[in-house]
Amino acid sequence: MKLAGLKSVENAHEESVWAVTWVPATEARPALLLTGSLDETVKLWRPDELTLEATNTGHCLGVVSVAAHPSGVIAASASLDSFIRVFDVDTNATIATLEAPPSEVWQMKFDPKGTTLAVAAGGSASIKLWDTATWQLITTLVIPHPEGSKQSDKSGSKKFVLSVAWSPDGKRLACGSMDGTISIFDVARGRFLHHLEGHFMPVRSLIYSPIDPRVLFSACDDGHVHMYDAEGKSLVSAMSGHASWVLSVDVSPDGAGLATGSSDRTVRLWDLSMRASVQTMSNHSDQVWGVAFRPPGGTGVRAGRLASVSDDKSISLYDYS
């Protein structure tokens, strides 16, 4: 497996680019790349030339997360202004505005069926679940306090929730916290199941394998990428190679490869059969906040694509084969 650079756009945004995802293809158009930036805007790009399709404004602080509905019709952006803006991808019409208390909106992901938006709720040590039909809050999944600690105990603040991931069957939610804890929830029952141990620094990105609902990958400031059996609570593999914090992780649609972005300014490709890094891309001149594989689908689209975004304000697009 390998990556080959296709296109880079310098100064894609006016400030650091913090967030990236793909909007799935619809019958009318191909998959689009969605980016969010400290410059308060969200932009849509058409591959492979990365031509700018649209610039969405509406946030008054930096955009920390973007998420696309599996239908490809709607998407959401979350900002440091504590608002989530849900919008129509093709018209940019605002569909809903979701408000949260300060510092309680971080990474967000739609579930595989598209019925629920999960939001990593920062300082509230929880995940908020929003109904995508009514845009009402369904429930809040709270990380329990450790045994023997009082509610007033300072340890609660360490469970600051940064990242969230759905299992491919939609039955499990994982969230990553500032203290390195990964928490697993049973979504249907709305209950906490267990923690996954092994990290002791912020876990900024999580992704489940698309081919095995038990397997979860994590990216952590400790420089490691972990592969867990999220049901069996076991650490399967700890992969190292980055020289600094691992800020983002995504898994290829075939489940065979992983991509990571790091504050060491590189993107790495990992072969999961070897559980080792097989390639390092050095397109970026500053830390890489996001990596995202294009989902399968769309007419005549067979080629694999990976995108990366960085503090250097640029976007890079790679062929993955």
Residues 256-268: tens digit of each pLDDT? 999 999 999 999 9
Residue 278 is which amino acid? Answer: V
Residue with tokens 């081919």: 211
Q: Is 108 exposed, middle or buried (0-12, 13-18, 19+ CB in 10 A)?
A: buried
The predicted pLDDT at position 296 comes to 85
Distance CA 237, CA 256 (A): 15
The Cα-based distances of 94 to 8, 88, 102 in angstroms read 30, 7, 22
32-46, 152-166, 202-216, 247-261: least confidently modelled range: 152-166
Which residues have C-beta within 8 Å of that of residue 150, sequence separation ≥ 6? none
Predicted confidence at residue 21, as pLDDT, reads: 98
- The confidence band for 159, taking pLDDT boundaries of 50, 70 and 90, is confident
Mean of the per-residue pLDDT values of the chain: 93
DSSP 156: H
Start-end of H helices in the chain: 155-158
This prediction has a pTM of: 0.94
**What per-residue confidence (pLDDT) applies to 156?**
47
- Amino acid 147: pLDDT: 61
Q: Which pLDDT tens digit goes with each residue over 87-138?
A: 999 999 999 999 988 888 999 999 999 999 999 998 899 999 999 999 999 9
The pLDDT value recorded for residue 289 is 97
Strand partners, 51: 46
- The pLDDT assigned to 104 comes to 86
**pLDDT digit string (tens) for 46-87?**
988 999 999 999 888 999 999 999 999 999 999 998 999 999
Q: What is the C-alpha to C-alpha distance for residues 165 and 148, in angstroms, rounded to an integer?
A: 29
